[in-house]
Every structure is written in C-alpha cells, then in structure tokens.
Amino acid sequence: MNRQVIQTDGAPAAIGPYSQAVRCGDLVFCSGQIALDPATGELVGAGDVAAQTERVMDNLAAVLAAAGSSFARVVKATIFLTDLGDFGTVNAVYGARFEGLEPPARACVEVSRLPKDVQVEIEVIATV
C-alpha cells in the first residue's frame, strides 16, 4: 500500500520527529494539532480554550486539504484536554466545523499536560 507524507505551510511545521499527516491508501492520519500559528510558530489564544480550538481546527483543515480531504470526510477524531471542564467550549467550536455534516466517531480525554502547555490538541483520521 502506498504511504505518502503530507506537509503544508498552512499548518505549523512538526515540532518533533513526526509528519503533519500520512496518507495510506484511501485514509489520511492527521497528527495532533495544537494552537500554533503556522506563519510564526507562536501559540495562539494563551488561556483562551475557544481561541485555541479555532486555531487547532484551522490547522487541521489545512492539513486535510493538503491531503485531498476535508472535515466532511473525517471518520474519527480524538480530542485531548488538560481540563475536562473545557469540554462544552471545545465541543461548540469543534461542532461548528461539522455543522450540516454527518459527525465522525470521537473520543475526548483529559490529560495532565500537552505540548507547549496548550489546553487542547485534536487528531483526526479521514478518507480521501
């Protein structure tokens, strides 16, 4: 099966030994995105989980587009939160990107810490 690394300037460059996404056959596996501005590499929305989630979803949209996919084709999402009390806010921002679409399967977990001390990270798997 063909394996293709996906890279776009529309999302932050990887900050470790991983790819923004990998396409394998008709699936694209997007690495977790955090709220980094792709142009500057700086954190967006420090202390504001809604602003962070918007940036995360923008980053994911760019990676999905680079892979030839979109939110309409996402089949599974995983959300990582440092405070499950932020679930409602994150869910509202996340849900807006799937408005009018059939939503994917999803998991949401609370973790003790995320890279760069962000409040939210989201990864997705989509079809192409």
Catalytic one among 43, 65, 108, 128?
Answer: 108
The band of 108, judged by pLDDT with boundaries at 50, 70 and 90, is very high
pLDDT single digits (tens) 17-65: 999 999 999 999 999 999 999 999 999 999 999 999 999 999 999 999 9
CATH architecture observed for domain 3-127: 2-Layer Sandwich (3.30)
> What is the pTM assigned to this prediction?
0.97
Residue boundaries of the structural domains of the chain = 3-127
Q: Report d(CA 45, CA 51) in Å as an integer.
A: 5
pLDDT single digits (tens) 62-78: 999 999 999 999 999 99
Catalytic (active site) residue 108: yes
Q: What is the pLDDT of residue 87?
A: 98
Q: Are 50 and 93 in contact (CB under 8 A)?
A: yes
C-alpha dist (Å) from residue 109 to 31, 42, 77, 114, 118:
16, 25, 11, 12, 14
